[in-house]
Chains A and B, each alone.
Chain A
Amino acid sequence: MSIRIGIMSFAHLHAEGYIQNLRAIPGVEMIGLADDDPQRGEHFARLFGAHRFRSYEELLEAKPDGVVICAENSRHLPLVKLAAETGAHILCEKPLATTVQDAEEIVRTCRQAGVLLMTAFPMRFSTPLLEVKSRLDGGELGQVYCFNSSNQGELPKRHRAWFVDKALAGGGAIMDHTVHLVDIMRWYLGSEVNEVYAVANRIFHADEVDVETGGMVWVTFENGVFATIDCSWSRPPYWPSWGGLSFEMVTERGAVWVDAFRQNLTVFTHTLQRPYWAFWGSDPNQAMLEDFVQAIRAQRPPRVSGEDGLRAVEVVEAAYQSVQSGQPVRLQRRAL
């Protein structure tokens, strides 16, 4: 039996990749998409030759096994509620929500409805990052001491205007680029964050946006590991790619430098008149969507949970508190 999946909203640009990832999975039927912005929905339905449902309700009436939610960050919760009610399993774009309260409600809603909830943290499926995880677990790196990490990018505004709209995105660079690295470190360490310190500014693109565009977040874990995350939108639009995710992990035996997107060709072309990086590594989104589908098929938890999404949002919320107060913030973890 094929697994039937629909996409709810194309607000997030990742939907453009996910639709193709879904179609590449044998045994998956991509039933179509719905979008509260009919023009956007129509545009992408045409572009990908996909069926467009006139509403989310109509999409859900088609009884998909699972849905992928790619709405604006602050609009995840209502779509999760709609979908969970109908028993559809959910893959939700990151960040899970813009507030801890919403994230918690998303997790509880899915639990009560008995549907699977996966947070879209594709870096858990990145082959370089998996390789590091297996070396860590194999013991060859010894005890981890700290991380010096970055998830910098260009201003995402040219992809979608709402990314820099505080009401829809929940914030700026901190909201956008903190959660992946927090999640990777929680996954590597098996420990939770207990303190957050953050600084931010708005110097990049100061005349274009009113959210923070520069940020550095400091997290300390219960096991004593400390880490910095540079989440800035510091890459100029003529950088060879959108940005990247990299870190230095320091252990008792030295350090490991990891760049999740280094498997590139450097391409020089007359059309662009500047070099760009063409990625030839394995697509982590593909592996993530395959895990979602397999989780539905086997009725097992996906490799990234809703709780993982919530924990990352807790760090983001604490980071904004710290920016306000200028002091480190003790993290209050929600019991689930």
Chain B
Amino acid sequence: MRVGIAGVGFMGSTHAAAWAETDATIVGFVAETVEEAQPIAQQYGAKVFAEYAAMLEEVDVVDICTPTHLHVPMILEAAARGKHVICEKPLALSTEDALKAVQACRQAGVHLFVAHVVRFFPEYALAKQLIDQGQIGRIATLRLLRGSYRPKKPVGNWFLDEKKSGGILMDLMIHDLDYARWVAGEVESVFARKVSAVHQGSPVDYGLVILKHRNGALSHVAGAWAYPPPTFRTRFELSGDRGMIEFDSQATSPIESLIIKSHAEAPDVGLPSSPVRESPYTTEIKEFYAALKESKTPRVTAEDGLAAVQIAAAAVQSAQSGQVIYLESLGEGRL
């Protein structure tokens, strides 16, 4: 299987490392400029493509790790050429665009997998497994939190451009919105607020979302771009009628560093990390790879990616309008 990777930022390089652990061949990379892609291509003994279209000619699957606003046009182009697609989350910035991407891939008969990597993090995967085993009974309330600092970029910080990233609700909180739906099922209504919608130009951002699921469960999702670098903290508390599961990345961190540093360096984007044998990103890519090879369904599908966009887009709309957003069913009729 021949893979082409689009985008060479943090996610592109992380996915490349994951692909390197499969039997697939990384054919090449494409980035905004040829220069940007040069070092990583060299590292993996792969080509640099000047054009995305040229890369598509030489691969079986394309892994799209570009800024969010570029996802859908790139998916449509890949589908038109009959190439399988793995796409970074969020799938799109609007439900309509996400639908378009899913439909195009269906019609072209190619797979589309959306990289909601949280489902592959061992703590989140285990909690889901325990719930599926019935250990805490019927889900009643979920609380999820993901917090870090505002992503910084040396140039052109697309994360902070809401038109390109969708902002904190779409870019950061979609992880937990997807997870809440995975655990508690389809969502009926969404109510959300975020700091940057109330205070234009605020130095930090923070979002809160309350979901009502169709089965009556309630989810509370919080996301922060408000903490001092290099903080990245995740927490969850999943409560059912027969028990509860809680997790705190800080409380379960097996190493606490009290080393004196003259100055603290922080990566551009805050990242979760706990020492585990295999990176969750690698687990994810391996599962997608196996799904492509053996035509199996991975734990996160195109439809899940679409549903996550629908919830996050409703949150964005709710935060803007102050209204409760009731979701339309995205059943087979629309697909």
Tell me the smallest distance from the CB of B58 to a CB of chain A, in Å. Answer: 47
CB of A214 within 8 A of CB of B141, answer yes
A224 to B194 CA separation, bound complex (whole angstroms): 11
Does A191 sit at the interface, judged by CB under 8 A?
no
A145 contact set on B, CB distance < 8 A: 195, 198-199, 202, 204, 206
A150 contact set on B, CB distance < 8 A: 143
- Sorted from nearest, which 4 A-B pairs have the closest CB atoms? A203-B140, A234-B239, A250-B206, A145-B195
A229 nearest in chain B by CB position: B220
B322 contact set on A, CB distance < 8 A: 195, 328
A254 to B143 CA separation, bound complex (whole angstroms): 21
- Contacts A145-B202, A232-B239, A255-B147 hold; do A216 and B226 have CB atoms under 8 A apart? no
Binary interface profile of B, 193-213, with partner A (CB < 8 Å = 1, else 0)? 101001100111010101010
CB of B244 within 8 A of CB of A218, answer no
B212 nearest in chain A by CB position: A199
Does A98 sit at the interface, judged by CB under 8 A?
no
Give the interface size class of chain A.
35 or more
Does B217 sit at the interface, judged by CB under 8 A?
yes
Tell me the smallest distance from the CB of B319 to a CB of chain A, in Å. Answer: 10
Give the interface size class of chain B.
35 or more
What are 26 A-B pairs with beta-carbon distances under 8 A? A145-B206, A146-B195, A148-B220, A195-B322, A199-B191, A201-B141, A201-B216, A203-B139, A203-B240, A204-B140, A214-B239, A218-B191, A218-B208, A220-B193, A224-B199, A228-B220, A230-B220, A232-B141, A232-B239, A234-B141, A250-B224, A250-B226, A252-B203, A255-B147, A328-B191, A328-B323
- Contacts A232-B140, A232-B239, A250-B206 hold; do A203 and B216 have CB atoms under 8 A apart? yes
Binary interface profile of A, 137-163, with partner B (CB < 8 Å = 1, else 0)? 000000001101010000000000000
Q: Which residues of A approach B to under 8 Å, CB–CB?
A: 145-146, 148, 150, 195, 197, 199-201, 203-206, 213-216, 218, 220, 224, 226, 228, 230, 232, 234-236, 248, 250-255, 326-328
CB of A327 within 8 A of CB of B324, answer yes
A255 to B150 CA separation, bound complex (whole angstroms): 13
B57 contact set on A, CB distance < 8 A: none
CB of A254 within 8 A of CB of B204, answer yes
Tell me the smallest distance from the CB of A217 to a CB of chain B, in Å. Answer: 9
Does B162 sit at the interface, judged by CB under 8 A?
no
Does B151 sit at the interface, judged by CB under 8 A?
no
Does B247 sit at the interface, judged by CB under 8 A?
no
Partner of A201, one of B191, B218, B244: B218
A213 contact set on B, CB distance < 8 A: 140
CB of B241 within 8 A of CB of A255, answer no
Tell me the smallest distance from the CB of B180 to a CB of chain A, in Å. Answer: 13
Does B181 sit at the interface, judged by CB under 8 A?
no
A251 contact set on B, CB distance < 8 A: 204
- Contacts A148-B208, A232-B140 hold; do A224 and B198 have CB atoms under 8 A apart? yes
